[in-house]
Amino acid sequence: MKRFIMVLLLSLSPITVFALDTLQFANPEQQAVYETLTSELRCLVCQNQTIGDSNAELAADLRRQVYEMLQQGKSKQDILQFMTDRYGDFVLYNPPLKAKTGLLWLGPVAFLVMGLIAVV
Amino acid sequence: MLKYIIPLILFIIMAVFLAIGLNLKPSEIPSPLLNKPAPVFSAPKLQVPTEKLTPADLKGQVWLFNVWASWCVSCREEHPVLNQLAQRQAAVIVGLNTKDDPAAAKNWLESLGNPYDVSIMDQDGRIGIDWGVYGVPETFVIDKKGVVRYKHTGPVTLESIQQIFLPLIAQLQGEQ
């Protein structure tokens, strides 16, 4: 009986299966760059996921693109440039500080200052 | 007095930001391609796979570039609108048949009508990436010099045809 319950409980435990691409890298550094990039680029279909997290087809295509560019010896900067040329800054989870994104970066500081003023 | 004014100001600021937020469409990402030359491709035609089409072939004409696929549900909704637009012959309509099975794509055009002057195949989605396509359908308007002038994300509606596409096409046809 005990054994039966154990088997039952085990079969209830969630089995998570990840859709991992099996990729070969020339060296560990290249793999590290791949992993950083796929966790810094936004999947544009499911906007709150990175292309590394998402199972959307576009995410898989963009991962393939990143992988191929790394194989061609492109740098991280080249790849980020390639992506922003096509999808805009929105594709970056870490957007650059410029006039258009000023509010995004400085807004929290401004609110903090306003809050401080209000308290004091 | 100040005790009442500061919360009021803060409330107004918050209300303004929330109002802006409500009117933003996060699913419509502005395209960095606007006012830039159309990304180059050379892709086989759907109906005649031995022939290829490149943007250079369309120089001197105003053309629409519509991304579609037979698996795309919103494309079915958009299709009659494109058929109507094609009847007006306002501009050349080029289809980018993305990540599709050519047989299914041809079947779709046969049963629903073919609004495209020509459709090209992008089976691995690379042309789509070059054009910054992230959702199908998408429609670009390219001027006579080969510059991208407008991008519409999602299905084209009769309303957007009347209010945006036709006036823009007329304006671009007037340009040299």
The tens digit of pLDDT for each residue in A48-103 reads 899 998 888 899 999 999 999 999 999 999 999 999 999 988 899 888 888 777 88
Q: What is the pLDDT of residues B94-149, one digit of tens each?
A: 999 999 999 999 999 999 999 999 999 999 999 999 999 998 899 999 999 999 99
Tally of structural domains, chain B: 1
- CA torsion B122-B124-B127-B131 (nearest 10°) is 120
Give the residue numbers in A contacting B (CB under 8 Å), as ranges: 44-45, 47, 57-58, 61-62, 65, 84-88, 90, 114, 118
Quick check: is B145 in a domain?
Answer: yes
In a domain, B13, yes or no: no
Which of 74-103 (B) contact A at CB < 8 A? Answer: 99
Tally C-beta pairs within 8 A across A and B.
41
**Residue B26 falls within a domain, yes or no?**
no
Say what the pTM is. 0.81
B15-64 pLDDT, tens digit each: 998 999 888 877 777 789 999 999 999 999 999 999 999 999 999 999 99
The CATH number of the structural domain formed by A21-119 is 1.10.8.640
Q: Smallest Cβ distance to B29: which of A85, A87, A114?
A: A87
| Domain assignment of residue B170, given as a range | 37-174
Tokens at residue B54, please?
Answer: 């490149």
Mean pLDDT score across all residues of chain B:
93
CATH number of B152's domain: 3.40.30.10
Pairwise CB contact (< 8 Å): B134 & A87: yes
Chain A residues inside the 8 Å CB shell of B39: 86
Whether B164 is covered by a domain: the verdict is yes
B35: left (phi over 0), alpha (psi -120 to 50) or beta: left
Please give the pLDDT value at position A120. Answer: 83
Which of B99, B124, B134 lies closest to A44 in CB terms?
A: B134
Residue B22 parent element (H or E):
helix B2-23
Rounded to an integer, what is the distance from CA A7 to the centroid of its chain?
A: 37
